[in-house]
Every structure is written in C-alpha cells, then in structure tokens.
Amino acid sequence: EIPSDTFDHLSRLQVLYLGENKLEGILPKEIGNLTILRSLYLDNNLFE
C-alpha cells in the first residue's frame, strides 16, 4: 500500500514508475495533485 502523504512534496514529479512491485490496496487520491505528471506506470500490481 502507498501512504497518502507519499506525494506531498513531489509536485514537480513528471514520471512515476511503480510497476512490478505487487503493491496492493487503493491508489491514494493525492496522486491527482501531481499536475505535471506525464507518465504513470502501475503495471503488474494488485491495486483495487
């Protein structure tokens, strides 16, 4: 599971690769605050 405060200080993040980690649970809604995120890779995880 990804803690909701993970993205608090990453406002300039452009690429996030979390693939192949077998992460579970719910993707935090705070990821929506990453307004300049261009690429998001979540493949091969177990998110709900």
With 90 as the cut, is the pLDDT of residue 40 above it?
Answer: yes
Rounded-to-integer distance, Cα 36 and Cα 47, Å: 23
Say which residue the tokens 């300039």 belong to: 12
Domain extents in the chain:
4-47
Q: What is the pTM of this model?
A: 0.80
Residue 23 pLDDT grade (very low, low, confident, very high; cuts 50, 70, 90): very high
Residue environment code for 8-46, b if the CB has 16+ CB neighbours within 10 A, otherwise e:
eeeeebeebebeeeeeeeebeeebeebeebeeeeeeebe
Residue 27 Cα distances to 3, 23, 44, angstroms = 9, 9, 14
Whether the pLDDT of residue 48 is over 90: the answer is no
